[in-house]
Amino acid sequence: MTMPDNSDRRAFTSRTPTNENPDRVVYRRGFVTRHQVTGWRFIMRRIASGVALHDTRMLVDPLRTQSRSVLVGALVLITGLAACFVFSLIRPGGVAGNDAILADRTTSALYVRLGEQLHPVLNLTSARLIAGRPDNPSQVKTSEIDQFPRGNLIGIPGAPERMVQNTSRDADWTVCDGVSGPAVGVTMIAGALSDGGERAVPLPDDQAILVANPSGPNAGTWLMWNGRRSPIDINDRAVTSALGLGTGPLDARPIAPGLFNAVPEAPALIPPAVQGAGEPPRYPLPVPAPVGAVVAAFAADNTLRHYAVLSDGLQPISPVIAAIMRNTNSFGLDQPPRLGADDIARLPVADVIDTDAYPRQQLSLVEAADAPLTCARWTRAADATSARLDLRSGVTLPIADELRTVPLVGAGSGTTADRVALTPGSGYLVQTVGQDGGGVSTSAAGGAAFWLSDVGVRYGLDEAGDLDTNSDTISALGLTPPAVPIPWSMLSQFAPGPTLSRGDALLAHDALAADPRPAAVRESP
């Protein structure tokens, strides 16, 4: 057999086209490409399918489904373990550890740790005062509770179980007194008021309320007007007729001490005292009018102005004061003598009579049959330095329909309100200030601090320093200064509770005496 020579081999041309590597892929020695690995895996799955299923068409791939199931199971297991870890952080497995406040997971009984002893505690507030920080109780097993030596029952009887501070820093307090109707008695309201319907509305400037205080050092008849109360003699016709109250008999409605003390006192509505009345003035007066008389002159706007003739000069007065002075002594003058504008400009000016103590216009009385409810609202913004007191009158309480009042058990004593209306679920950190309203500056520094609960109980806070320093009692209870200012006359209408202090919380008890004056609770139908 003749073998081909080398020239024939060199002339042989393969049918396979030469790969010119158009993509210019650089192959590294000893490495495979991704396509080669994918192809190898496909061949291996196809071989496995042929051996296991006797089918190499690869219409289904049960082996891949099996591997995916294993992967999903592993992911579920990892997720479950992570969830168990997070749950163990949220709710530990019932081990006391170093926690100071503990609660039995089975019975929810509350305990506080003092040294190596575990004491039953009356409430969470007492436990926080003892621990010195606003911790929540750690839920532990009964076996963990039983391993500690047991101490006496400690805590403050009647301390609040829940202390959630209201976020509002604006002072808005209202006390209402109803002589009849659905809101008879005294009601204390905390927070913003609602209008509409027959709710009590602000008293207009030309209206007043005549009240009678039956007892005490301030017994008598008082006229409530423009955020104040003024003593008045209803038998003094010179004053009552000048005020527009009429000359007939006047009926005064009774007033509760809670509302009476909340309204600032003003000077009595009596004829102003004029020194040297009846004597001639010390300056030349163009008209014959003695000291104590009233003269008049037209102003630039063509309105008639009244002036009191005093020994040192003329003082501008309101028509009401002019009528009171003339009703008391007109000095034989049928009408106030008229002066010219040039006379007024030339004569000296005096300032003796307290004109702010009298209304600037005549008043009409609000009848108790039409508006049996009277309210006093004390407000002060968080960034303000002065307070304001407004009077309201109406038929029903100025609160929202969904807000329900809570009756006070000790209302029968007469020293507190009959009911309170506060937003459920939150209370107030308050500090007492003076009751002066109507723009009079009041400072929040130096007053006593209290916690006011949403059921109308005031708890004194044992504070020796300034609240702004965030002292121990305030921080232990989880409260945040500054406190909301409130006049003591209104705060005293809430039911008194115990003082909240660490010393009181550390008092031990064998048992607690029953409330000497409880009240039955009516079950809802």
* 293 occurs within a structural domain: no
Within this chain, do residues 113 and 147 fall inside the same structural domain, yes or no?
Answer: yes
CATH of the domain at 97: 3.30.2390.20
pLDDT digits (tens, 9 = 90+) for 287-322: 999 999 999 999 988 999 999 999 999 999 999 999
Distance CA 169, CA 422 (A): 15
At 29-71, the pLDDT tens digits run 667 788 888 888 888 888 888 887 778 777 777 767 777 888 8
Q: Is residue 342 part of a domain?
A: no
Domain co-membership, 97 together with 130: yes
DSSP for 171-190, written as a single string: EEEEEEEESSSTT-EEEEEE
Q: What is the pLDDT of residue 241?
A: 95
| Structural domains in the chain (count) | 2
**Residue 134 lies in domain:** 92-159+501-513
Q: What is the pLDDT of residues 70-101, one digit of tens each?
A: 889 999 999 999 998 887 777 666 666 788 89
E strands, 68-184, are: 101-104, 110-114, 117-120, 138-140, 153-154, 171-178
8 Å CB contact between 494 and 430: no
Question: What pLDDT shows up at residue 63?
Answer: 67
Q: Do 109 and 59 have their domain in common?
A: no
Residues 83 and 114 in one domain: no
Q: What is the pLDDT of residues 210-219, one digit of tens each?
A: 999 988 788 9
Spell out where 282-423 has E strands.
294-298, 304-309, 314-317, 338-339, 364-365, 373-380, 388-394, 406-407, 419-421
Mean of the pLDDT values across residues 419-428?
Answer: 95
Query: Does the pLDDT at position 11 exceed 70?
Result: no
| Cβ–Cβ under 8 Å, residues 505 and 198 | no
pLDDT at 178: 95
Q: DSSP secondary-structure letter at 130? A: H
pLDDT band at residue 441 under the 50/70/90 scheme: very low
Asked whether residue 74 falls in the same domain as residue 42, the answer is yes
Q: Which of 43, 59, 88 is the last residue of a domain?
A: 88
Domain termination site, one of 71, 88, 105? 88
Question: 173 pLDDT exceeds 60?
Answer: yes
- Together in a domain, 119 and 68: no
CB contact set of 101 (below 8 Å; sequence gap of 6+): 110, 111, 112, 113, 121, 124, 127, 128, 131, 135, 136, 137, 138
Alpha helices in 329-439 (DSSP H): 341-346
Residue 401 lies in a domain: no
Residue 67 maps to a domain: yes
Note whether residue 26 is domain-resident: no
Would you say residue 74 lies in a domain? Answer: yes
Q: Where are the beta strands (DSSP E) in 214-261?
A: 220-225, 228-231, 253-254
| Shared-domain flag, residues 99 and 111 | yes
From 88, 108, 123, the end of a domain falls on: 88
What pTM did the predictor assign? 0.79
Which tokens in the block code for residue 302? 């063509």
C-beta separation of 174 from 393 below 8 A: no
Assess if residue 4 is contained within a domain: no
CA 413 to chain centroid, in Å, comes to: 27
Do both 76 and 120 map to the same domain?
no
Q: Is residue 96 part of a domain?
A: yes
Check whether residue 80 and residue 120 sit in a common domain.
no
